[in-house]
Amino acid sequence: MTADRPAVPAELARLRGSIDNIDAALVHILAERFKATQRVGVLKAELGLPPSDPGREAVQVERLRQLAREADLDPVFAEKFLAFVVAEVIRHHEAIAQDHAQRS
């Protein structure tokens, strides 16, 4: 190690490695989720459906909050995370709908 950076204890290095692996898995899972939601956006545009579905979103929020409680994760955090993801999905769906309307 350099003089200004002390050696990292083995347990800390192991935990950081685990966190790095989890972060990589999250990125890949989010990528798969967005691939699916992109297809949903295309289908909604083709069917003339609105980019968002507040009823489904409400059900999903409650479902995620329950899963968070079962996993001993703060349900408020889980809801905020889902809200962030859903807002991005809706933004994508709006862009897809606009693109579809311009082509029609």
Rounded (10°) CA dihedral 56, 34, 79, 95: -70
How confident is residue 88, by pLDDT bands cut at 50, 70 and 90? very high
Greatest Cα pair distance, the chain, in angstroms, is: 65
In the chain, where the domains are located: 10-103
Rg over CA atoms, the chain = 20
pLDDT 10s digits, 8-26: 999 999 999 999 999 999 9
Mean pLDDT along residues 70-86: 96
The CA-CA-CA angle for residues 86, 69, 20, to 5°, reads 65
Could you tell me the two tokens for 6? 């002390």
Q: Which residue has the higher pLDDT, 6 or 50?
A: 50
The third-level CATH classification (topology) of the domain covering 10-103 is Chorismate Mutase Domain, subunit A (1.20.59)
Distance CA 78, CA 84 (A): 10
Across the range 40-63, mean pLDDT stands at: 96
**How confident is the model over 45-66, as a mean pLDDT?**
96
- For residue 2, the model assigns a pLDDT of 54
Confidence (pTM):
0.82
